[in-house]
């Protein structure tokens, strides 16, 4: 069925570009004929000549015949639209029953491509409609249609997963495969971002999935494979693919010159690393923690930490219903609280947030280091007021100067690279209370690179840490990151608590160091 869908999609593109234009031209020409007949294009009078009036019988027949041909042409277009609709609907049969269950980033990427392709196909028909009741054009004005920027961003998300988790295209596409054109698009985005090693792998994957119906050609792929290999410094690989390209067309002087250049450079260099060596060399603490490469000493230290029931320092609300507290790390002190928010409250927060979400920003604005959407929710919502009160009870801190509850949903390969929550301002963020509103199957951990700690999201739990020492200086060990989501749908809610109002709840220290 997948092969059929790919073949049908490719045939649809080529067939549409020819037949549709022919039909539209025919309709327009017939329309002109009909209109000319109605207004009598000769421009002369009729009523003053009986002979001309008698010729109206022939004009009437011609008019009706032309109108009949026009209707036939319109019916052919309708038949073609119905055929195309059926082909487009074939692509929706494997959609999940619950849209929120789309956990595979490749499936999400394909959905974006499919919806944009559907929109372009349908828009081509409806924009040429002669009907004054063109409802679809009105619908398109308000529909959320993926733009080219969405496709590029999704491709960058896949590349980010590939880069951080040291994956190859066949790993990422294990559950949902890409066709040659889709893989070529990901490779093209990587190439334009100067990520030549990753681009090479996607072009190679695309080459292996070429069919007679593919919209990308072997010639294009061989060119990019050769060029990518040259850019990441593997001349033998560049020569190999250039030779294959030259074999396709031995008369191509440009390819011959390129091949000769690569051979010349090959003799000038004695060391060439292959693609696999280059990819595996790139690593750092943040990436290693995201991959689950935790130091054995860190694991032993964590095992020595404690769990207990907490009343938040004797808070009356928690005396008979204490919270489950687990110390995840001791310096800086990172505490996880279990089961502090119900599934029902989580769903309410999600439903409130969905129509309000917009691209998350950093201090520098929108950047690729943070790929999520978010919204601040105030206490006008009862569920938010309850959650805020619960945070105050658990932490013992005042919420008077705290920011509104910040709900986030991460996208394809969604991440937030290493950063500090403190803002270096008066009344700074003294503490962060991070609520996990979903489980994440693979990836999505919160990691602290400076101390080597990785915290896996657990739905209903929350993590607390202090961004500032008691003397007001930033705790440099609180640098943290949200790892890219490899599989799953990550929802979190942040409560950033500020210094004002904490004078007697967390007294300042006179120490210079802490």
Helical axes 135-142 vs 105-126, angle rounded to 10°: 140
SS3 490: coil
For residues 313-324, give the mean pLDDT: 93
Question: Do strands 372-377 and 358-359 pair parallel, antiparallel, or not at all (unpaired)?
Answer: antiparallel
User: What tokens appear for 275 in the block?
Assistant: 């693609």
With a cut of 70, say whether residue 28 has pLDDT above it: no
Classify residue 514 by its DSSP letter: -
What does DSSP say about strands 446-448 and 358-359: parallel, antiparallel, or unpaired? unpaired
CA gap 504, 514 in Å, rounded: 17
SS3 359: strand
**Which residues, other chains included, contact 28 with Cβ-Cβ below 8 Å and sequence gap of 6+?**
none
pLDDT over threshold 70, residue 479: yes
Q: Do β-strands 485-487 and 358-359 pair in parallel, antiparallel, or remain unpaired?
A: unpaired
Stretch 310-321: mean pLDDT, rounded?
Answer: 92
pLDDT computed for residue 55 by the predictor: 83
Q: Where does the pLDDT of residue 512 fall: very low under 50, low under 70, confident under 90, or very high at 90 and above? A: low
Summarize the confidence of residues 193-213 as an average pLDDT.
Answer: 96
Sequential DSSP letters for 370-417 = B-EEEEEE-TTSHHHHHHHHHHHHHH----TTPPPEEEEEE-TT--EE
Contacts of residue 358, defined as CB under 8 A and 6 or more positions apart, other chains included, come to: 373, 374, 375
Residue of 49 and 225 predicted with greater confidence: 225
Q: How far is CA 350 from CA 250, 391, 456, in A?
A: 60, 18, 20
For residue 340, pLDDT over 80 is answered with yes
The two tokens of residue 263 are: 């051979």
- Number of C-beta neighbours around residue 501 at 10 A: 17
- How does pLDDT run across 378-435, given as a tens digit for each residue? 999 999 999 999 999 999 999 999 999 999 999 999 999 999 999 999 999 999 999 9
Give the per-residue pLDDT at 14.
Answer: 43
- Mention every residue, 6+ apart, whose C-beta is less than 8 A from residue 501: 397, 398, 399, 400, 401
> What is the percentage of the chain residues whose pLDDT exceeds 90?
64
Q: Give the residue ranges of DSSP H helices in 165-234.
A: 169-172, 180-192, 196-207, 218-231
Query: How confident is the model over 429-464, as pLDDT tens digits?
Result: 999 999 999 999 999 999 999 999 999 999 999 999
| Higher pLDDT among residues 465 and 79, named by residue | 465
In this predicted structure, the answer to whether residue 12 has a pLDDT above a threshold of 60 is: no
Using the predicted structure, report yes or no on whether residue 15 has a pLDDT greater than 60.
no
Position 280 pLDDT exceeds 60:
no
Identify the weakest region by mean pLDDT among 229-243, 270-284, 358-372: 270-284
More confident residue, 139 or 112: 112
Question: What is the pLDDT at residue 266?
Answer: 86
Task: Name the residue with higher pLDDT: 208 or 303.
Answer: 208
4 pLDDT band, cuts 50/70/90, is: very low
Number of residues that this document lists for the chain: 514
In the DSSP assignment, the letter for residue 502 is -
Mean pLDDT computed over every residue of the chain = 86
Report the SS3 class of residue 298.
helix
| Residue 201 clears pLDDT 50, i.e. is over it | yes
Answer with the residue of higher pLDDT: 309 or 119. 309
pLDDT computed for residue 302 by the predictor: 84
Confidence of residue 163 (pLDDT cuts 50, 70, 90): very high
Cβ–Cβ < 8 Å for 442, 161: no
Handedness of CA 252, 253, 256, 262 (dihedral sign): negative
Q: What is the mean pLDDT of residues 243-255?
A: 95
Residue 58 has pLDDT above 90, yes or no: no
Separation between Cα atoms, residue 200 and residue 157, nearest integer Å: 17
Q: What is the pLDDT of residues 78-131, one digit of tens each?
A: 888 888 888 778 777 766 656 666 789 999 999 999 888 887 877 777 776 656
Q: Say if residues 269 and 235 touch (Cβ distance below 8 Å).
A: yes
203 and 224 in contact (C-beta within 8 Å)? yes
pLDDT over 70 percentage in the chain:
84
Distance CA 170, CA 209 (A): 11
Tell me 90's DSSP state.
H
pLDDT at residue 346 is higher than 60:
yes
pLDDT value for 145: 83
CB contact at 8 A, 448 and 334: yes
């Amino acid at each position: 069925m997948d092969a059929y869908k790919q073949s049908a999609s490719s045939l649809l593109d080529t067939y549409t570009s020819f037949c549709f234009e022919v039909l539209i031209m025919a309709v327009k020409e017939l329309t002109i004929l009909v209109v000319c007949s109605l207004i009598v294009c000769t421009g002369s009078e009729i009523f003053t000549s009986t002979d001309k009036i008698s010729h109206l019988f022939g004009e009437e027949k011609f008019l009706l015949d032309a109108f009949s041909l026009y209707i036939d042409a319109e019916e052919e277009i309708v038949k073609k639209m119905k055929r195309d609709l059926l082909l487009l609907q074939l692509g929706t049969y494997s959609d999940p029953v619950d849209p929120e269950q789309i956990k595979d980033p490749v499936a999400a990427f394909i959905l974006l491509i499919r919806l944009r392709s559907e929109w372009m196909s349908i828009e081509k028909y409806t924009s040429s409609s002669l009907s004054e009741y063109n409802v679809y054009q009105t619908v398109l004005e308000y529909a959320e249609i993926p733009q080219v920027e969405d496709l590029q961003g999704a491709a960058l998300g896949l590349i980010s997963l590939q880069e951080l988790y040291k994956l190859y295209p066949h790993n990422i596409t294990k559950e949902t495969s890409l066709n040659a054109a889709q893989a070529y698009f990901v490779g093209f985005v990587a190439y334009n971002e100067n990520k030549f090693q990753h681009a090479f792998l996607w072009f190679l994957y695309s080459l292996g999935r070429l069919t007679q119906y593919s919209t990308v050609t072997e010639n294009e792929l061989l060119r990019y494979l050769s060029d990518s290999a040259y850019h990441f410094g593997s001349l033998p690989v560049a020569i190999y693919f250039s030779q294959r390209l030259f074999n396709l067309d031995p008369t191509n002087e440009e390819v011959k010159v390129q091949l000769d250049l690569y051979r010349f450079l090959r003799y000038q260099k004695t060391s060439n690393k292959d693609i696999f060596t280059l990819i595996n060399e790139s690593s750092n603490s943040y990436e290693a923690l995201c991959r689950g490469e935790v130091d054995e000493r860190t694991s032993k230290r964590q095992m020595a930490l404690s769990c207990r029931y907490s009343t938040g320092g004797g808070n009356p609300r928690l005396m008979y219903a204490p919270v489950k507290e687990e110390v995840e790390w001791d310096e800086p002190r990172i505490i996880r609280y279990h089961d502090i928010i119900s599934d029902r409250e989580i769903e309410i927060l999600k439903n409130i947030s969905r129509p309000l979400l917009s691209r998350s920003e950093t201090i520098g604005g929108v950047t690729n280091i943070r790929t999520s959407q978010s919204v601040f929710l105030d206490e006008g919502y009862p569920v938010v007021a309850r959650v805020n009160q619960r945070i105050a009870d658990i932490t013992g801190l005042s919420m008077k100067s705290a920011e509104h509850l910040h709900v986030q949903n991460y996208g394809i390969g969604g991440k937030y690279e290493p950063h500090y929550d403190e803002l270096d301002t008066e009344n700074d963020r003294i503490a962060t209370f991070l609520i996990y509103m979903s489980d994440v199957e693979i990836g999505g951990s919160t990691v602290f690179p400076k101390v080597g700690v990785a915290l896996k999201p657990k739905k209903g739990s929350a993590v607390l840490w202090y961004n500032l020492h008691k003397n007001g200086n930033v705790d440099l060990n609180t640098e943290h990151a949200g790892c890219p989501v490899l599989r799953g749908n990550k929802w979190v809610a942040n409560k950033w608590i500020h210094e004002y109002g904490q004078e007697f709840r967390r007294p300042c220290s006179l120490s210079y160091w802490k």
